[in-house]
Structure 1
Amino acid sequence: MKKKSSGKVKILVVCQYYYPEPFRITDICEELVRRGHKVTVLTGLPNYPEGEIHPEYKFGKNRNETINGVQVKRVLEIPRGKSKAQLFLNYFSFALSGSIKSLNLKKDFDVIFVNQLSPVFMTIPAIVYKKVYNKKLFLYCLDLWPASLASGGISQENSIYKIIKKISKWIYQSADGIAVTSKMFIRYFDQDLKVDTNKISYLPQYAEDLFGEDNTNNKLNNDFNLVFAGNVGVMQSVETIVEAAKILKENNKIIFHIVGDGTSLEGCKALATLYELDNVIFYGRKPITDMPNYYNMADVMLLTLKKDDLISYTLPGKVQSYMAAGKPIVASIDGEGQRLINEANCGYASEAENPKLLAENILKMSTDAKMDLLGINSLNYYRKEFNKQKFMDSLESELILLGDSNV
């Protein structure tokens, strides 16, 4: 007999990353709690992006926590480290220990929610729980696999790639519902992974409330300030920004601010030193609560992504944060990101990894009398398409629907 719905569900959230790691899943879970749902998160030990376990989580400490009403259960995980070999061990260790832990969780969760970033293997503990307890699984795909591997340099003809493609296909086909952050993801699921598109919906990300709380200008000087905020990794191609800064180095009024950390940060710093650039400032990683201060000192936000057909399907989450802050955007990006900026009429977008065109657009923006209007367009588009209320209403409806479908 089917149980009667109360409109509230007990949700098991599976994600390899959670607070204090800087991902939006923390905000999502806390909002679900505020809406009256019971939320338990199965996650790993905080080590992103530094690659080392945070001291307060070593030696078995803080494996079970309650954070702002969310029950957090952490499992053993090998840290990311600095090598590809250790990163693989990191991926494998969470999938294994999370699967073991899932067998020992209570069986009274109504629905499973996977916030799927890289790696896709983080979904495996959720599938184990689904199979054992006959529960529905809703997957939110923020990072497309195995497309991410191909973009990282692994050939699609490589045997490892082919194995991971089969695993990825099995994972996505195991989900009862899938939401994607980019409409272009649906094409990949259909053509490359043969996943039933009837169970796929479009659910773009939102920005945390703090990005829209204060849009006052906090400029440090009278220069033209451009800010890049977020992960500084291979996919983000921040080197393109440094190359554009080199082209514009004689214009001492244009200043580039890089706020974030990642595997490519030291390489970008070295490149800036090689070019003797004094127009690029690196701040490293900052807490999310500090980010509005950096946004507010910007005239324009910067967006770059690696040139790759599959990566171009992705819409980086920072786009929503930039728009929520009411900032114009200058981008070196293909595909979904370029399409969206043009549709919103909120800035200039040129092809990925082309520093010459990026520099030209930065110069153009610096003298654009309509720059403030582009910022207004950015904020208006965010409020219409990406606001948090709309996101949470859609997600909540999906989880309640799947939770109520269990018998």
Structure 2
Amino acid sequence: MKLLVVCQYYYPEPFRITDICETLVNRGHEITILTGLPNYPDGIVPNDYKKRKKRYEIINGVKVIRCFEYGRGKSKIGLFANYFSFSISGTIKALFLKEKFDAVFVNQLSPIMMSLPAIAYKYKFNIKILLYCLDLWPASLAAGGIKSGSFVHNIFLLISRWIYNSVDSILITSSMFNDYFINILNINSVKITHLPQYAEDIFIPKNQIHNKKNNYKYNFVFAGNIGEMQSVDTIIYAANELRNNENVIIHLVGDGSKLNDCKLLISELNLSNVRLHGRKAVEDMPKFYDMADAMLITLKSNEILSMTLPGKVQSYMAAGKPIIGAINGETKTIINEANCGMICDAEDYISLSKLILEFINSSNKLQMGLNAVEYYKSNYNKEMFIEKLENELLRLEE
């Protein structure tokens, strides 16, 4: 299959779409991705990509076409400039593409406007679009502080409704997205299918899972974006509750808009039981997973956010790690169903600290990790994901 992929983010940015594209190439498909200039998460475009450099590349068999965009920076104005610059430049680039593809695949994170180049290409060549919804719009805006019903929210509600209705098929990462599409966005004529994310092979341990040998120090690891939505301050406040327990060390691995705020909070609380490791390359992450006795997950207490299933859940499970978190909705349901961790309500740092102590004293730690692996294999493994994605793409040609 000859496929055009549209996503604002791609390698060297740490998103799963890179692995998806390279896997499809290895399975015999011809893949071209229309993407932006790398700048996530630090918000700065590297010099290697400025002044029209590296606009066309071939990376591990994937043809990469890069469109102009402003670096997202650290402000909301910079973020919106980033969003709109890609959607405009990408749409212009799509209209001037001469090559014809069998279908278009949109890997839709934030913003929803990253889908516009795909729609422009669809109307030019009269081909179909499969959209994979990872961030629900305009719900993501509401979770970020723009109130539902406000002028800005209503504008993006109209834009989002039009974009979702303009594609031919939609894949959703969380089963809870379905109600929002039907009841809020009024998407009734587009086929919607549930396809949860998978974890890259690098997270799957090569050795059998064993009980912890050192029964003194316990390492708890949060890995991923440290932003407004992730509520990492909940973990830091929980660490403060545990400050006198020498058995507990908490590791934060990642970067994001709230990293500096977290540093300040750790300093203000004078915590010695929290380690900040910063952003690490994907290939460096397994060593942090390996050292973890359990992985941590948090999100803000928000009705819309509770619908999401963060991609780190699959990575945590694939690594065979118990999951401890303060999170609501879909994630809480999945972890309880898998019986692979301990979960309390979002933003409840006191309960989170108690769960960490309960985990340390539990005799069920090994079984939680084994349960995580089994649930991952049955529900989220990569082979299942790629086969289902291929089938959905091939249906577009029917």
Which bracket does the TM-score occupy, shorter chain normalised? over 0.9
Secondary structure of the equivalent of 1:183? coil
- Structure 2 residue 350 is the aligned partner of structure 1 residue 356: yes
| Of 173, 188, 194, the match for 1:181 | 173
Confirm whether residue 44 of structure 1 aligns to residue 36 of structure 2: yes
Show the counterpart of 1:227. 221
Quick check: 1:95–1:125 contact (8 Å CA) kept in 2?
yes
**Superposed, which structure 2 residues align to 1:12-161 within 5 Å?**
12-161=4-153
Comparing 192-201 with 377-386, which one deviates more in the overlay? Answer: 192-201
Residue 267 of structure 2 is matched in structure 1 by 273
Unaligned 5+ segments in structure 1 are 1-8
Query: In the TM superposition, what is the alpha-carbon distance from 1:214 to its structure 2 partner?
Result: 3.0
Check whether the contact 1:51–1:80 (CA below 8 A) recurs between aligned residues. Answer: yes
Name the CA distance, whole Å, in 1 between partners of 2:163 and 2:268: 44
Structure 2: stretches of 5+ with no match in the other structure: none
Match of 1:210 among 202, 210, 223: 202
Structure with bigger RCO (C-alpha 8 Å, 6+ apart): 1
2:330 is aligned with 1:319: no
1:12-52 Cα offsets, whole Å, 9 max, x none, are 00000000000000000000001101000000000000100
Residues 71-80 or 106-115, more deviating:
106-115
**CA distance, structure 1, for counterparts of residue 263 and residue 213 of structure 2:** 23
Partner of 1:383: 377
CA contact (8 A) 2:168 2:190 kept: no
Q: Match for 1:178: what amino acid?
A: I
**Match of 2:2?**
10
Query: Which whole-Å CA distance do the structure 1 matches of 2:375 and 2:166 have between them?
Result: 34
| 1:219 Cα deviation after fit | 8.9
Q: What is the aligned length? A: 396
Shift in Å, 1:59:
1.1
1:132 Cα deviation (Å)? 1.2
Give the counterpart of 1:283 among 277, 280, 298.
Answer: 277
* AA at the equivalent of 2:279: R
Q: CA deviation at 1:55?
A: 1.8
Contact preservation (8 Å) 1:186, 1:197: no
Q: CA deviation at 1:106?
A: 2.5
Deviates more, 1:190-199 or 1:90-99: 190-199
Residues 177-233 of structure 1, C-alpha deviations (whole Å, 9 max, x = no match): 000000000010011000027600000000000100435679999411100000000
C-alpha deviation, 1:156, in angstroms: 1.2
Q: Is 2:170–2:190's contact at 8 Å kept on the other side of the alignment?
A: no
Structure 2 CA distance, aligned partners of 1:131 and 1:219? 60
Q: Supply the AA of the counterpart residue of 1:279.
A: N
CA RMSD of aligned residues (A): 1.3
CA apart distance, 1:252: 1.1
- 8 Å contact from structure 1 (residues 146, 168) kept in 2: yes
Three-state SS of the structure 2 residue aligned to 1:19 is coil
Contact 1:324 1:378 in 2 (8 A): yes
> Of 173, 187, 194, which residue of structure 2 is paired with 1:195?
187
Separation in 1, partners of 2:86, 2:245: 48
Distance 1:229 1:385 in 2: 22
Offset of residue 96 of structure 1: 0.2
Q: How far apart are residue 86 of structure 1 and its match?
A: 1.0
- 2:392 is aligned, of 384, 387, 398, to 398
Q: Structure 2: which amino acid aligns with 1:87?
A: L
Identity level (%): 55
Residue identity in the other structure for 1:268: C
Q: 1:132 to 1:220 in 2, by over 3 A?
A: farther
Match of 1:337 among 295, 312, 331: 331
Counterpart of 2:122, as a letter, is: K
State which drifts further: 312-321 or 152-161: 152-161
Distance of 1:302 and 1:66 partners within structure 2 = 36
Give the TM-score normalised by structure 1.
0.95
Which amino acid is the alignment partner of residue 211 of structure 1?
F
What is the alpha-carbon distance in structure 1 between the residues aligned to residue 23 and residue 7 of structure 2?
16
Q: Does 1:299 align with 2:290?
A: no
SS of equivalent to 2:236: helix
- Equivalent-residue separation in structure 2 for 1:205 and 1:387 (angstroms): 8
Provide the rounded CA distance (Å) in 1 between the counterparts of 2:205 and 2:358.
29
For 1:338 and 1:46, how far apart are their aligned partners in 2?
A: 33
